């Protein structure tokens, strides 16, 4: 076992079929789609449950249920039901990302300072203004941590796409194992790990950019430099 | 004017928070709702801006029933200050203050310009504008809370225990500024507190509520101190209410004696006629006067001076600082006795 596959320049050629660039792109495509669909479904539900307090058992239990569901098994079931293709893969990955996003949206809303929300209502904000101008901005740090944890999980698990004939970095693992090319398997594992770290760093930057400095430690010790 | 008409609030589960409350909070004045916990004072306040819906009865602001009005629009026209300020932690101080003007359709620039002026008005310099609430002390946050409530220049302000989360020294300062601001602005203010001293100090009128949401007495601070309607009110306003009620009368009507009238002590004046101190028995060291009063000062202060003076005499000065009269212990006793008899006669008539 060695790193020769990873460092073979031919595998990094942009146009090489089955090369790293194309596999990474496909892999990120699955990740992005799953996160997008998962967020569109889980975020509103989590915000609603957190805002109203109704159905909180869904938010709490979905986290545990989702974590215990084997993605590979779910994928095989979906393929059996729907046939090969992108859809069963996306369903399996979306089921994986929903729990952390749902749970964090719920938790973010439940832990808000109710006095601030009370003040917002008392000042004459309409319910949707309270939600989008006060509650969501205040819950953003918790929301973002849920999104980051979902992203980490899905970037590792998206390798299952290769098990049902799709692309992505899972190809290196499946094909490498099939032909006993352990250098290829190792390369796949390393690239997945590096991708996960880079994605988390990227989301950390996004978080820093969209979360108000007033909500994090940065603002408490020294005043933010005034930009005019 | 804010009018409560036979307002009742019963919470689900049957506990009565407010029981047939009727009262009028006059325009341009501060009315303080005060009482022990569970007396329904906060519930009553929150019914004014419809944060709580009454079970029955009506609340009117300048004759208009609040129940008929759009909730959000009603609240934008009413300043709202709560305990711990409730500032938006994710917004700068400036944007916190600019909130309501922007809800009312002002541009960001207009709202921020107005907000900056208001910050100064509540005693915060422009350097605070770009900070976040977490970077402010409790007292500063409360000032921002007041500025935020004043931002849209609402005629009515609701204040729910606005000064209870800060330490006594800061509270004292906030009280002074509150009185100064209210003198300038003349808002119709409803304030809730559990502190009777705060109520007496800040209120033009005070409504004392008791457990179960009954109005025990409504009146000026002096009326509550001089004529409590029952033992509950008397107990609530405190044991030293007699002495405290002297805070509301100035020394304007208090007769004084000539400067030379003090027995076995001489008031020593400087060249300009200002008192320097007392000298006993024609010789000996000069003893300080313990302070002086003018006709604008309260009877309570005169009493205090007469008690602490080394010779039992309070010294009155004119606006120019020149001593112009003396008041002895027993002069005060006579004056207060005469005042009490006169008031009793008025009440009887």
pLDDT tens profile A155-187: 999 999 998 889 999 999 999 999 999 999 999
CB B333 within 8 A of CB B341: no
Per-residue pLDDT band at A5 (split at 50, 70, 90): confident
User: B203-223: per-residue pLDDT in tens?
Assistant: 999 999 998 889 999 999 989
The mean pLDDT value for A197-224 works out to: 80
Inter-chain touch A137–B131, beta carbons under 8 Å: no
Cβ contacts (< 8 Å) between B75 and chain A: which residues? 121-124
Inter-chain touch B82–A115, beta carbons under 8 Å: yes
CB A116 within 8 A of CB B141: no
Q: What does CATH list as the number for B251-336?
A: 3.10.580.10
Using CB atoms, which residue from B89, B130, B131 is nearest to A138? Answer: B89
Inter-chain touch A213–B132, beta carbons under 8 Å: yes
- Give how far the C-alpha of residue A211 lies from the chain's centroid of Cα atoms, to the nearest Å: 18
State which residue of chain B sits closest to A114, comparing Cα positions: B86
CB B44 within 8 A of CB B158: no
How is domain B2-248 classified at the CATH fold level?
A: Rossmann fold (3.40.50)
- Measuring CA to CA, which residue among B107, B111, B104, B114 is closest to residue B73? B104
The mean pLDDT value for B14-31 works out to: 93
The mean pLDDT value for A111-134 works out to: 93
Residue B7 DSSP symbol: E
- Give how far the C-alpha of residue B160 lies from the chain's centroid of Cα atoms, to the nearest Å: 14
| Whole-structure pTM value | 0.78
What is the model's pLDDT at position B265? 82
Using CB atoms, which residue from B90, B135, B158 is nearest to A212? Answer: B90
What is the model's pLDDT at position A227? 43
What is the model's pLDDT at position A121? 95
User: B41-82: per-residue pLDDT in tens?
Assistant: 999 999 999 999 999 999 999 999 999 899 999 999 999 999
- Measuring CA to CA, which residue among A60, A184, A47 is closest to residue A105? A47
The mean pLDDT value for B81-105 works out to: 93
SS3 state of residue A160: helix
Write down the domain spans for chain B.
2-248, 251-336
What class is the A16-221 domain? mainly alpha
- Give how far the C-alpha of residue B126 lies from the chain's centroid of Cα atoms, to the nearest Å: 28
What is the model's pLDDT at position A13? 84
Q: What angle do CA B235, B240, B242 make, to 5 degrees?
A: 100
CB B182 within 8 A of CB B122: no
Q: Which of A110-119, B215-224, B241-250 is least confident? A: B241-250
SS3 state of residue B301: helix
User: B251-303: per-residue pLDDT in tens?
Assistant: 888 888 888 877 778 888 888 888 888 888 777 788 888 888 988 888 888 88
- Work out the minimum CA distance from A95 to partner chain B, whole angstroms: 32
Check whether A64 has a pLDDT greater than 80. no
């Amino acid at each position: 076992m060695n790193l020769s596959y990873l460092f073979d320049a031919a595998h990094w050629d942009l146009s090489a079929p089955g090369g790293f660039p194309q596999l990474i792109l496909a892999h990120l495509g699955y990740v992005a789609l799953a996160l997008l669909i998962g967020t569109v479904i889980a975020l509103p539900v989590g915000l609603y449950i957190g805002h109203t307090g109704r159905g909180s058992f869904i938010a709490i239990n979905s986290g545990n249920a989702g974590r215990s569901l084997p993605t590979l098994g779910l994928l095989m079931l979906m393929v059996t039901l729907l046939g090969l293709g992108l859809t069963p893969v996306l369903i399996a990955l979306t089921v994986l990302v929903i729990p952390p996003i749902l749970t964090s949206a719920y938790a973010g809303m439940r832990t808000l300072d109710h006095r601030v929300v009370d003040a917002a209502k008392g000042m004459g904000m309409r319910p949707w203004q309270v939600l989008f101008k006060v509650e969501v901005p205040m819950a953003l740090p918790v929301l973002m941590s849920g999104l980051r944890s979902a992203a980490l999980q899905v970037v590792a698990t998206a390798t299952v796409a290769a098990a049902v004939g799709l692309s992505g970095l899972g190809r290196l693992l499946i094909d490498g194992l099939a032909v006993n090319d352990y250098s290829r398997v190792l390369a796949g594992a390393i690239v997945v790990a590096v991708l996960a770290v880079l994605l988390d760093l990227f989301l950390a930057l996004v978080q820093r950019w969209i979360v108000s400095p007033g909500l994090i430690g940065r603002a408490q010790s020294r005043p933010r430099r005034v930009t005019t | 004017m804010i009018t409560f008409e036979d307002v009742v609030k019963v919470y689900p589960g049957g506990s009565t928070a407010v029981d047939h409350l009727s009262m009028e909070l006059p325009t341009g004045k501060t009315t303080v709702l005060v009482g022990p916990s569970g007396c329904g004072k906060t519930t009553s306040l929150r019914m004014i801006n419809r944060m709580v819906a009454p079970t029955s009865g009506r609340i009117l602001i300048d004759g208009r029933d609040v129940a008929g009005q759009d909730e959000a629009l009603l609240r934008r026209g009413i300043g709202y200050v709560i305990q711990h300020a409730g500032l938006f932690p994710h917004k700068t101080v400036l944007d916190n203050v600019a909130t309501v003007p922007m809800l009312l359709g002002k541009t960001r620039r207009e709202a921020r310009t107005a907000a900056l002026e208001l910050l100064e008005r509540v005693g915060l310099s422009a350097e605070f504008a770009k900070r976040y609430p977490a970077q402010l002390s409790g007292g500063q946050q409360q000032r921002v809370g007041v500025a935020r409530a004043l931002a849209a220049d609402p005629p009515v302000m609701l204040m729910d225990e606005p000064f209870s989360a800060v330490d006594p020294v800061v509270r004292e300062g906030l009280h002074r500024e509150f009185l100064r601001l209210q003198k300038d602005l003349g808002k119709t203010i409803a304030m809730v507190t559990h502190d009777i001293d705060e109520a007496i100090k800040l209120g033009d009128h005070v409504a004392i509520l008791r457990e179960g949401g009954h109005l025990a007495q409504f009146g000026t601070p002096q009326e509550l101190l001089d004529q409590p309607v029952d033992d509950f009110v008397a107990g609530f306003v405190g044991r030293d209410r007699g002495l405290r009620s002297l805070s509301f009368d100035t020394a304007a009507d208090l007769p004084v004696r000539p400067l030379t009238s003090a027995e076995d002590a001489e008031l020593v004046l400087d060249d300009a006629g200002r008192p320097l101190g007392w000298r006993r028995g024609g010789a000996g060291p000069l003893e300080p006067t313990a302070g002086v009063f003018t006709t604008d000062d309260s009877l309570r202060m005169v009493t205090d001076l007469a008690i602490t003076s080394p010779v039992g005499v309070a010294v009155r000065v004119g606006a120019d600082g020149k001593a112009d009269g003396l008041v002895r212990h027993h002069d005060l006793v006579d004056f207060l006795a005469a005042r009490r008899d006169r008031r009793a006669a008025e009440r009887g008539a």
